[in-house]
Amino acid sequence: MRRLPYSCYLFLACLTLGFCYLFCLRYGMFGAKVDWISQHSVLPDYFRQQFYDTGQLFPEFAANIGGGQNIYNFSYYGLYNPLILPSYLLPFVKMSDYMMAIQLLGLTASVLLMYRWLGKRGFSEKICVGVAVLFLLSGPVIFHSYNQIMFINYMPFLLTGLWGVDQYFEKQKSALLTVSIFLMIMTSFYFSIGGMLVLVLYGIHRYLMVCDEAGEKITVISFLTEGLKFSFCFVMAVLMSGVLLVPTAFALAGREGEGVAFGVAELLLPKVPITRFCYSPYGIGMTTLAMTALVSLAFGRKCYERMLALSCIVVLTVPVFAYLLNGGLYVRDKVMIPFLPLLSYILAYYLEALESREKEGIGRLGEVLPYVLTAVVLYLNRQQGDIKKYWKLLLFDSILMLICFLLFRLGRRRAMLLLAPSILMLIVFGYTCHTQADRAVGRKFYEEVTDSDIGKQIEAVTAKEEGFYRTEQLGNDNENAANLNRIWTMGQYISSLYSSSYHGGYREFREETFRLEEPFRNFLMQSAVHNPVYQRFMGVKYVVSKEDIQGYEPVGFTSLDEACQFEGQADAKEKGKQGDEWRVYENTQVSPVVYGTDRVISREAFLDLEFPYRQLALLEYAVVEEAGDFTQRDSAAKEVLEEQANPIEIDLPLDIDSGTDQEVRVNLPDLSETEEGQRVLFLCFRVENQRPTKDVAVWVEGIRNKLTARNHFYYNDNTEFAYGILLKDGQETVEMVFGKGKYEIGEVKAYIGRLPTWEGKKELEGRLYQSVFKPDWERTKGNRIEGSIDVKREGYVVTTIPYDENFEILVDGERVRAEEVNTAFLGFWIEGGRHEVRLIYHAPGVKAGKMMSMAGLIIFCGMGFFRQSFRKSSTDGR
């Protein structure tokens, strides 16, 4: 092995940071506006906060997010990520800052490891540096280091795994390979499957190479025997990862798939997805030279060359592999990103063979023909997906590489003649891609969103709260997107959620049963909402906002004027109006998260209700499965609900065809004779998009509903826009903004509803929230909710925690049966009197996962000790 100069390491490290600045940092922070700011930087912070709160390294329940869900719904975002766990020792470091630092370090380490690995494989220094730079500049590496970081953050461990494969076959040492696979799984279990496939293919290649160099004959028996030994490393790594994999598998198994159906022919007939190979950040992202090297090696003289190239070609072109690596949901190129190091190796191998005439690397066909075949394949696939927009540029790339190859053959045989144009093209691509995407979080926005003063305000309020309520943050659309999963303190509970895995019943309730507004393109983004009925139903007692919130008052004050006088700030009132300052608002007329009641209606009667009576019903009754004669009770309930809302006529434009947003003032009927109380405008209408490749958005009083373009992968299917708007006293009009586009509006329904109000505990006795649960905050943490409730009349304890059969419910120490109430939430029957209640969540698979990890760790350590003892005894024997 050649000793590589340290100056190359320094050069590559500086180059990595330089391109990060050029592509991203000069526009803002090393993080993206959507997924990074709302998922990858906040969920790890929540994991860390829960660890500080409970002292438990293996949590089971995320009570604070999405109403309360299995924490393994979010394990993908770094629950046991070895790169994130060290942050638990740094409570004084903001998690988002830590994430940016670890992303940059991981990216730099990946580039240096690529250079080091290639050097250990014996490639020349220039080829090692050139290919490492190509690896750095390839589509996904920098891009996903600040966007979807799980797409790339496992890369250092995949590279050490490739290094471990070399050690396994050269020195019969398996520790590095096993540990690398384990760390890769714990970092990004989704992409670790593709990573393990890469290690298997490279392992077969190295086994054949070692046998060929040693002159050993390979038989089926010897191949299978060595394969079983090799697979032991993978089995051990998977066993040690059980604490993550088993409960995550249970959580994912409970989710209904959003997959796409494919026929057998579609999955088995080879295709050449160009974006999987070239330039795309959601694929391998190399230039056409990588394709040429792959084709060339497929005609290699050695069987280990052909095996590696042909196996890569099969995996990368036969759709069934992408389908399986994507969990049987769809065929997407992202799962092939782990093949980037392997293609980099193939490229280095190809270039080294070209440089050395004496080295028997590639056969006669590995000359001009691969370049011609690459150009032909690109031309034949020019109408494929997004390729048709820029296939001429790709064809230019392939022809340019052919010209460079001819110059290479005619002049001095130097690999940089082929590498330099590829590096230049990837620089141009990277500069264009990152600039056009405009994805980086701006520094000012980042500082505002992560301002610790917001958390201090929330903590000051929630620390004094004796009841069990929720606290949410509402701002503009960008702020709401950034705060979907943000938890400032463990006393804060939110109903919003953004995760690729989630509680299916809760999402169905929000979208189908309750019909909330959907302000975002992505159907996975379950936002905090302005609907006053939902806020009351979910117990959102506190809202943090820069603007006055209808129905809420500034905490501790009766008005904004009084708040300004108390603070002694001459300009505080003006700032509050302009929306420059975050502050906490309170609404005392909301549901507790847990309460007791005997006011119930049957599920059947509830689902028979139309919009908006179904929404209003949840403020008057709890919905339970029919357990007796509900006929009279349901009939009386319907009569009560009919008085809660009255239909009105409202005049909306029905045909929209505009290139700009259109603002309209819509008149409301005279409300002077309606009953007293807080009035709500309920409005819904169907939207038919005449330009399905474009989004449609409509705002009512600043509240947005959006229908995603039909070709968007996370199409939200929000074809019926529904709104609940709390009206001001004497309000006669509402402001609507119809977004640009061409669409039709139909089936318009509008109602004026009235929210129930109460004053004092005596008024609650005859209403829904008859008995309020008092949590014991010393014991309510992690997967436990404990406290007491004084039940006035026997009935149900109702929660707004999504129902999960894995809850254990204890009343006065006796276990009771959990039931699904309000169609999607946890509840149970209870008798009158004072009771001690415990809700304990047991994430399925946690115990089995711990045992699996323990067994794997014991076997791994035992095998290591055995090998060490065997080597020592062998040495002593000599």
Q: What average pLDDT score do residues 16-38 get?
A: 92
Q: What's the start-to-end Cα distance of the chain, in Å?
A: 28
Cβ neighbors of 653 (< 8 A, separation 6 or more) are 662, 664, 738, 745
Looking at 618-754, list the stretches that DSSP marks H as alpha helix, in order from N- to C-terminal side.
631-642
Q: What average pLDDT score do residues 244-268 get?
A: 77
Give the E-state strand segments of 266-354 in sequence order: none
**Cα gap 43→36, rounded to integer Å:** 10
Answer positive or negative: Cα dihedral of 53, 59, 63, 64.
Answer: positive
* pLDDT tens digits, 612-647: 999 999 999 999 987 566 666 777 777 778 888 889
Contact in structure between 305 and 260 (CB atoms under 8 Å): no
Please state the length of the chain.
Answer: 878
Cβ neighbors of 222 (< 8 A, separation 6 or more) are none
Is residue 663 pLDDT above 50, yes or no? yes
Backbone φ and ψ for 401, nearest 5 degrees, come out as: -70, -35
**Cα gap 393→391, rounded to integer Å:** 5
* pLDDT tens digits, 67-122: 999 999 999 999 999 999 999 999 999 999 999 999 999 999 999 999 999 999 99
**Cα gap 677→532, rounded to integer Å:** 13
Cis peptide before 421 (omega within 30 of 0): no
Contact in structure between 162 and 112 (CB atoms under 8 Å): no
| pLDDT reported for residue 434 | 82
Reduce the DSSP state of residue 365 to 3 states and report it. coil
- Give the DSSP letter string of 751-786: EEEEE----HHHHHTTSS--EE-EE-TTT-BTTEEE
Reduce the DSSP state of residue 66 to 3 states and report it. coil
Q: Which helix (H) or strand (E) holds 106?
A: helix 95-120
Q: Confidence class of residue 275 from pLDDT cuts 50, 70 and 90?
A: confident
Strand partners, 755: 678
pTM beyond 0.75: the answer is: yes
Strand partners, 816: 809
**Cα gap 630→608, rounded to integer Å:** 14
Helices then strands (H, E): number in the chain?
32, 29
| pLDDT reported for residue 690 | 93
Question: Residue 569: exposed, middle, or buried by beta-carbon count in 10 A (0-12, 13-18, 19+)?
Answer: middle
| pLDDT reported for residue 573 | 40
* pLDDT tens digits, 463-519: 999 999 999 999 999 999 999 999 999 999 999 999 999 999 999 999 999 999 999
| pLDDT reported for residue 638 | 79
| pLDDT reported for residue 253 | 84
* pLDDT tens digits, 640-658: 788 888 899 998 989 999 9
Reduce the DSSP state of residue 455 to 3 states and report it. helix
Q: What average pLDDT score do residues 42-46 get?
A: 97
Q: Which residue has the tokens 């394949």?
A: 377
Reduce the DSSP state of residue 787 to 3 states and report it. strand
Is residue 365 pLDDT above 50, yes or no? no
**Cα gap 195→396, rounded to integer Å:** 32
Reduce the DSSP state of residue 656 to 3 states and report it. strand
Residue 580 region by backbone torsions, left for phi larger than 0, else alpha for psi between -120 and 50, else beta:
alpha
Q: What is the mean pLDDT of the chain?
A: 88
In the numeric block, which tokens belong to residue 830? 């209870």
In the numeric block, which tokens belong to residue 827? 């509840």
* pLDDT tens digits, 182-202: 999 999 999 999 999 999 999
In the numeric block, which tokens belong to residue 460? 């000051």
Amino acid at 866: F
